[in-house]
Amino acid sequence: MHQPIEHAKIGAASAATLLKSARQAVALTGAGISVPSGIPDFRSAGGLWSHFRPDEYATLKVFLQNPTKAWQLFRAMAKMLMDKKPNAAHDALATLEKMGRLTAIITQNIDGLHQAAGSERVVEMHGASSVLHCLRCGYEEVLDAAVLDAGDVPLCPECAFALKPKVVLFGEDVAELESVQALAAGCDVLLVIGTSAQVYPAAALPGLVARQGGSIIEMNREPSLAGATGIQPDFFLGGDLVRSLPRLVAQLQKREARKMTAPVISGTQNQ
């Protein structure tokens, strides 16, 4: 595989050409796409994990044994995500879907910003923070902000078991794995956006797509895919995602416009 093109203008133009020819393009997104919306990467300095160690607060075992402790994390997480709005990068992916150039988004994020931007087919591997559910009976409800100010653990109204956000804790299986596998199996262009590609099984998707002959477009502030997985992307588009993703969409729209305005050459001459 060739070395990735990094020059912003050339890279966006070439990546747009690749995307235009895709049969099934899929985006894999991580925390980096939501950082411009004011949501720090949980793993970054000052992020959620620096205040709540995952092995101490974010495991299924901790929730089952001490839901009060787990809810300290859940409340902090929900308050961090509350009232956040999608940014230009989220909007760009929604535009690609509307153009018919993006089949789906597989996201590791739990913030719901892809849906807020208008994307319709979003597979949330790590769940959604806006929903509470019961592990015992399956009851679900939308998270009420009043729960965040209460001191008690919210209980299921059906069976009185402790409710938890419908997010994947350490020790739980990822959500919608069958949908992820089906999308990856048919994907010929994968956009890897704002992720360090260190968390599995999401980090395995670029390798799976590459092995079946698909192409990889990595978009991030700095390259990370090759170092984390050994998979060299076909294109790397660096810099802020709120600029690079709209630039990619603009290049694709330019190509679509050329197609619409191309002259039609008739095979019949005027008599």
How many residues does this entry show for the chain? 271
The DSSP code for 88 is H
Distance CA 174, CA 28 (A): 15
Q: What is the DSSP string of 209-240?
A: HHHTT-EEEEESSS--HHHHHSPPPSEEE-S-
Q: How far apart are the first and last CA of the chain?
A: 53
Tokens 């205040």 identify what position? 51
Residue 133 CA: distances (Å) to CA of 60, 81, 129, 139, 154? 14, 18, 10, 5, 10
- Name the residue among 181, 205, 177, 182 with its Cα closest to residue 193: 205
The values of phi and psi at residue 62, to 5°, are: -65, -45
158 close to 137: Cβ distance less than 8 angstroms? yes
Distance CA 31, CA 226 (A): 18
- Name the residue among 74, 69, 109 with its Cα closest to residue 93: 109
126 catalytic per annotation: yes
- Name the residue among 212, 214, 210 with its Cα closest to residue 230: 210
The catalytically annotated residue of 90, 114, 126, 133 is 126
3-state secondary structure of 134: strand
The values of phi and psi at residue 215, to 5°, are: -105, 150
Q: Which residues are catalytic?
A: 126
